[in-house]
Amino acid sequence: MRASQLFLPTLREPPADAEAVSHKLLVRGGFIRQVSAGLWTFLPLGWRVHERVVGIVREEMNAIGGQELFMPVVTPAELWQKTGRYRIPELWKIEDRNGRPHVLALTHEETVTFHARELQSYKQLPQILYHFQTKVRDEPRPRGGLLRVREFVMKDAYSFDRDEEGLELSFRKHAGAYERIFERCGLETSAVQAESGMMGGSESIDFLAPARSGENTLVTCERGDYAADLEIARGVPRPPEFPDRLDAPEQVDTPGIETIEALAGLLGIDAAATSKAMPVVRDGRVVLALVRGDDRLEEAKLSAVLGGEIRPATDDEIREAFGADPGSLGPVGFEGEIVADEALREGQFVAGANTTGRHLRGVEHGRDFQARFADIRQSQEGDACPRCGGALRFQTAIEVGHIFKLGTYYSTPLDARYLDETGREQPIVMGSYGIGPGRVMAAVVEQRHDEQGIVWPRALAPYDVHVVALPGLEEQGAAVAEALEAHGSSVLLDDRDQRAGEKFADADLIGCPTRITVGKKTLDDGAVDLRDRESGEERRVPMAELGALP
């Protein structure tokens, strides 16, 4: 391809509002352009990369027996009403000309389960169906270029099995395929246990790619035996230094004390020997969540424990339920449900007295209050690994893939059933598996770039070789490009009427793995200069050897 005829608008400067490296480089390199918030066009170069990711995903999906099909983006609202997902705020709702409600699919569980009703016998199971299709989500906050967008292509796959055992097998197959996909894309990822969020179902695994920009936090053990998403990570906090035990709670005046640091300072105790009360509302009821003073509540965990949506209680709700201001709340005397973190099971803690400006020393579970215990704290730096006690490491990361065990969450409401050997009707057991190729692209750029630009892995590069024809040598450059193409390489020939420096800068920015320079000096030697983008190494190669290049 001749750069002089390619729609490849590279920019010297990054867009002013870009933060993420992948956002800056993909825009500067002429791979993508923004149309509106979270809505992006893939320019010719960007689409080539996207389609290379798609190609890899397709090969690996076919290798585990996946069957590619294609489902529509627009779906009737009824399907979503049946599964209860019609009320998801991200769901983009539209009407046809008759006013009949439809939605733009944010994934395709409903649609594929609708089709799965044609699977009627155990003899037809298992099945894996997948497609590459546009997903539309009315995201509250798109951000970071391709990292979170409102419309994107997703490879979504769905497995159909007769039972949990079959699902486990399909799930493992996908996990294996995903490992191979990311490996081939040159991405470093960790597979971790994760929250299921809006998808429903029992178990899920996230594939997280560590990067400077990202919306997830990957928690790993320094010894490599533990990895989890922060939302469900179970770090072990250090033990507190408790003061002397008290036979009964003792009230202390703490006027104007609003933070744990101030409280611990005033009383001269370890912040870990205090407790923090976080009132939340679930289904209109105030529930008290209790964590250690030096911990933060992990709302995702609490939400899972309580089995539904939660929100922080308002100041008015707090005063009505506790008779005290936020800052002096505690479990003693509270009539409602209390969920306490495991770290508070043993020992005596300082807690709010439910009287403004007062706290209680020596509060002990069992004697002074009753609570349901669960892991609801957010892991933090300094925690120990739950497996081996080693130090935990925290890294921001990008979620590039997510696989879910759905069970019968969709098949039951949508009536996807089969008959087993004994003639009994059973719901189909399902799994769903997603990868966003655009986000994979962004993650690759986040992990593989330098000051000059992108360093694409060979498998994803828009072209294998970038031939830079120095000014006046366009035809000689074209001859080199033809020779390379004859040997199976894809070639971008920079035959633009530009200075050498500009061409080199663009080549570095675009990031093809190999750059070949055709210049007067090289031609005098009957050779070209070949430079490896990743290592920066450059060597002179005789023209006759071009066919043997990678």
Partner RNA sequence: CGGGGCGUAGCUCAGCCUGGUUAGAGCGCUGCUUUUGGGGAGCAGAGGUCGCGAGUUCGAAUCUCGCCGCCCCGACCA
Binding residues among 15-44 for RNA as defined by CB under 7 A: 15-20, 23, 34, 36-38
Whether 13 contacts 29, CB under 8 Å: no
Choose among 90, 150, 78: nearest CA to 114.
Answer: 78
Please tell me whether residue 519 binds RNA under the rule CB under 7 A.
Answer: yes
Of 233 and 363, which has the nearer Cβ to RNA?
Answer: 233
Sign of the CA dihedral running 207, 211, 212, 217: positive
User: How near is the Cβ of 19 to RNA at its closest, in Å?
Assistant: 4
Site map 284..313 versus RNA, x via CB under 7 A: ---------------xx--------x----
User: How near is the Cβ of 154 to RNA at its closest, in Å?
Assistant: 5
One residue of 401, 427, 477, 511 binding RNA per CB under 7 A: 401
Interface positions, 462-491, toward RNA (CB under 7 A): 470-472
- Cα–Cα distance measured from residue 78 to residue 103, given in angstroms and rounded to the nearest whole number: 10
User: How near is the Cβ of 525 to RNA at its closest, in Å?
Assistant: 9
- Cα–Cα distance measured from residue 356 to residue 333, given in angstroms and rounded to the nearest whole number: 14
- Cα–Cα distance measured from residue 429 to residue 423, given in angstroms and rounded to the nearest whole number: 17
CA distances from 205 to 190, 192, 398, 399 (A): 10, 5, 14, 10
Interface positions, 161-200, toward RNA (CB under 7 A): 195-199
Please tell me whether residue 255 binds RNA under the rule CB under 7 A.
Answer: no
Choose among 283, 270, 282: nearest CA to 376.
Answer: 282
Interface positions, 257-276, toward RNA (CB under 7 A): none
Contact stretch for RNA (CB under 7 A) within 220-228, 270-278, 385-393, 506-514: 506-514
One residue of 169, 384, 478, 500 binding RNA per CB under 7 A: 500
Please tell me whether residue 85 binds RNA under the rule CB under 7 A.
Answer: no
- Cα–Cα distance measured from residue 152 to residue 7, given in angstroms and rounded to the nearest whole number: 22
One residue of 30, 50, 107, 234 binding RNA per CB under 7 A: 107
Number of residues binding to RNA, judged by CB under 7 A: 71
The answer to whether the peptide bond before residue 542 is cis (omega within 30 degrees of 0) is no
Sign of the CA dihedral running 236, 238, 239, 242: negative
- Spatial neighbors of 450 by CB under 8 A, at least 6 apart, are none
Interface positions, 205-234, toward RNA (CB under 7 A): 215
Contact stretch for RNA (CB under 7 A) within 110-118, 328-336, 431-439, 487-495: 431-439
Please tell me whether residue 99 binds RNA under the rule CB under 7 A.
Answer: no
Contact stretch for RNA (CB under 7 A) within 68-76, 159-167, 358-366, 514-522: 514-522
Please tell me whether residue 504 binds RNA under the rule CB under 7 A.
Answer: yes
Query: How many residues belong to the chain?
Result: 550
User: How near is the Cβ of 382 to RNA at its closest, in Å?
Assistant: 20
Please tell me whether residue 84 binds RNA under the rule CB under 7 A.
Answer: no
Q: What is the DSSP string of 377-414?
A: EEP-TTPBPTTT-PBEEEEEEEEEEEEEEEETTTTTTT
